[in-house]
Amino acid sequence: MGTPDQTRARQNAAEAEMEAVVATHEQALLRYACGMLGDPHAAQDAVQHAFIKLCDRGFPLRMDPPAIRAWLYRATHNAAIDYLRHQKRHTALHESAAREAIPATPPDPDADRRQLVFDCLHQLAPGEQQVLLLRLQEGLPYKTISETTGLPSGTVGRLLHDAVKKLGILIQQAGTL
């Protein structure tokens, strides 16, 4: 097992390693999750869940930095999907409350446009949302998206093409920007 000093040294090394991973990936993961969920608080929960799962794997981490990045995006994506599934069960309650609520101030027109795009984005399949957000919001190259999602590069390209096309149609159907 080791002496108390050795145990403390291992704990300090693990904390330093985790702090470095969080500092490197947290902001990008938050943007990604927020793009999927449209809710910064839910995005923080999804990212925190991903980091907790990473800690559960033990230290020192036995993955290279690109693998850690891909793993974190996948874990964040899965946590966001779980959140969306949970929220879907409560949709009826939220919709009825929203219908009864009267806005106190007129909405900002830019906010309406952003909301329209997010509403249309959330109508896409989860895989399409994932690759679209990773490419457009995070600016990741196809190869990295492929590593993150576990999909072949050609499939990533096809999903992106289909997602952009569908998003454009959905926005046109919902109203012009």
CATH number at residue 132: 1.10.10.10
State whether 3 and 68 are in the same domain: yes
Residues 135-155 have pLDDT tens digits of 988 899 999 999 999 999 999
Name the DSSP class of 137: I
Task: Categorize the per-residue pLDDT at 18 as very low, low, confident or very high, splitting at 50, 70 and 90.
Answer: very high
Domain count, the chain: 2
Residue 86, C-beta contacts closer than 8 angstroms, at least 6 positions apart: none
Of 71, 93, 115, the residue at which a domain comes to its end is 93
Residues 107-135 have pLDDT tens digits of 676 777 888 888 888 899 989 999 999 99
State whether 1 and 79 are in the same domain: yes
Run of H or E residues at 38: none
Q: How far apart are CA 35 and CA 118, in angstroms?
A: 8
